[in-house]
């Protein structure tokens, strides 16, 4: 057998051909991520494959490995993309000097491939809905984070034109696609727009605006807004420049909202074809966004050996520190794994404890039990995250077995 270890960089990779016993078939060499340079590599791999079984191994490096992995896979070559942390931990036992170059890394990756030859997972990007869903989910979360930054800047502006008005309105409603604050600012973006009217006139104007936009006509809410505006002191005057600046922020947030809605709809279109879509939506604390985000970040659960592997993947296992008679009493979670998965899981836990007891209350009661035992609320939620993943794995795997799709 021959293992081709590839150390991937941004626009080039270093390749090493190795056989068992650390026998170098071809010393490390560089190839650029172009068809002109990758095609000779494919031809050489095919020549070697005539005489012995051959596999290509590379580390997962964000998006940089995708082009070369996809090109090799399209040419019928077995490609395995492995977790970089696994390779790093393997090499620690082999490389005491801790030297690091592209040539050494490609050799070490090839050595890892030979050591774990029978367990190497095959890379397959064709029609991988989980991959597509993960890409869309990452884009959605990026847009959401960017929207939050813009919203903070708008809030800073409003503190100068309409102090405390921000607290009277809810945020963007992902289900309806509406944002009451932005709708309000398009009509009133300075205290003077409100107090220029009498209270009765503003209440009537507000209720008319609410009816026009599809909101509930709430006279008491209008009176509260008017009272707060009457008592507020703006720090910048009402002039065209100020109004234009606020409208810029409103426009940016509108476009961000449209992007979020479009990406969420696209994610749902893909996720609906997956067997676990309905099942995950029925779990306690899971909403419209967190359902597709969980499926995207976890991926195909069949690739995990058991529920403990999934928890390890999420980085929720406690670190262990023991030596002799010493044993640490406070151990933090390792946090090695996708941070965005932990973020989505924490959002699910927050939704669980902030609302009434859900019908599927196993995780909710577990969190409350941990709090009753004296655990800090955040610690109880982290424990709930691990509990949620155990339930998630069990239910989804049971579904796949019932459908005859389990590996």
| Helix ranges, 10-127 (H) | 35-49, 64-74, 84-94, 102-115
Weakest mean pLDDT among 82-96, 115-129, 175-189, 321-335: 321-335
pLDDT at 31 over 70: yes
407 found inside a domain: no
If asked whether residues 240 and 340 sit together in one domain, one would say: no
pLDDT digit string (tens) for 189-213? Answer: 899 999 999 999 999 999 999 999 8
If asked whether residues 227 and 287 sit together in one domain, one would say: no
CATH number at residue 81: 3.30.420.40
If asked whether residues 8 and 38 sit together in one domain, one would say: yes
**Total domain count, the chain:** 3
If asked whether residues 101 and 51 sit together in one domain, one would say: yes
pLDDT digit string (tens) for 139-162? Answer: 999 999 999 999 999 999 999 998
Q: What is the pLDDT of residue 335?
A: 79
Q: How far is Cα 270 from Cα 136, in angstroms, rounded to an integer? A: 10
Supply the pTM of this predicted model: 0.76
If asked whether residues 266 and 289 sit together in one domain, one would say: no
- What's the pLDDT band for 343 if we cut at 50, 70, 90? very high
If asked whether residues 242 and 301 sit together in one domain, one would say: no
121 found inside a domain: yes
Assigned token pair, 26: 């071809």
If asked whether residues 252 and 136 sit together in one domain, one would say: yes
% of the chain beyond a pLDDT of 90: 57
pLDDT at 127 over 60: no
If asked whether residues 220 and 323 sit together in one domain, one would say: no
- Of 270, 286, 313, the residue that ends a domain is 270
Q: Give 344: exposed, middle or buried? Use CB within 10 Å, 0-12, 13-18, 19+.
A: buried
- Of 241, 270, 299, the residue that ends a domain is 270
pLDDT average, residue stretch 281-289: 92
- Of 126, 160, 183, the residue that ends a domain is 126
Phi and psi at residue 326, to the nearest 5°? -80, 135
Residues of the domain holding 347: 277-402
């Amino acid at each position: 057998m021959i293992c081709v270890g590839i150390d991937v960089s941004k626009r080039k990779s270093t390749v090493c051909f190795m056989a068992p016993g650390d026998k170098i078939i071809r010393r490390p060499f560089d190839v650029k991520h172009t068809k002109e340079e990758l095609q000779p590599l494919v031809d050489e791999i095919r020549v070697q494959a005539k005489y012995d079984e051959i596999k290509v191994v590379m580390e997962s490096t964000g998006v940089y490995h995708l082009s070369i992995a996809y090109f090799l896979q399209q040419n019928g070559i077995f490609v395995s993309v492995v977790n970089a942390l696994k390779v790093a931990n393997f090499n620690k036992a082999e490389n005491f000097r801790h030297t690091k170059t592209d040539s050494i890394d490609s050799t070490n990756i090839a050595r890892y491939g030979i050591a774990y030859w029978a367990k190497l997972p095959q890379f397959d990007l064709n029609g991988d809905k989980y991959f597509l869903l993960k890409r869309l989910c990452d884009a959605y979360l990026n847009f959401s984070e960017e929207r939050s930054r813009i919203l903070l800047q708008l809030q800073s502006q409003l503190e100068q034109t309409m102090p405390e008005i921000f607290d009277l309105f809810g945020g963007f409603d992902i289900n309806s696609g509406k944002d009451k604050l932005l709708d309000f600012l398009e009509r009133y973006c300075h205290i003077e727009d409100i107090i220029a009217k009498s209270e009765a006139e503003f209440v009537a104007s507000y209720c008319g605006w609410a009816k026009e936009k599809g909101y509930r006509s709430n006279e008491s809410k209008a009176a509260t807004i008017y009272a707060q505006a009457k008592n507020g002191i703006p720090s910048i005057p009402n002039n065209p420049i100020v109004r234009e600046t606020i409208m810029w922020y409103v426009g940016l947030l509108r476009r961000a909202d449209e992007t979020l809605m479009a990406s969420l709809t696209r994610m749902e279109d893909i996720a609906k074809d997956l067997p676990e879509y309905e099942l995950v939506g029925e779990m306690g604390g899971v909403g419209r966004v967190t359902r597709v985000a969980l499926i995207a970040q976890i991926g195909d659960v069949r690739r995990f050996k058991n529920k403990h592997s999934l928890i390890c993947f999420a980085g929720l296992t406690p670190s262990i520190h023991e030596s002799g008679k010493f044993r640490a009493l406070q151990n933090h979670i390792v946090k090695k794994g996708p941070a965005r998965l932990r973020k989505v899981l924490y959002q699910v836990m927050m939704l669980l404890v902030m609302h009434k007891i859900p019908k599927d209350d196993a995780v909710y009661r577990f969190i409350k039990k941990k709090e009753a035992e004296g655990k800090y609320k955040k610690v109880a939620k982290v424990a709930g995250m691990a509990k949620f993943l155990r339930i998630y794995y069990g239910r989804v795997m049971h579904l796949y077995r019932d459908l005859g799709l389990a590996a």
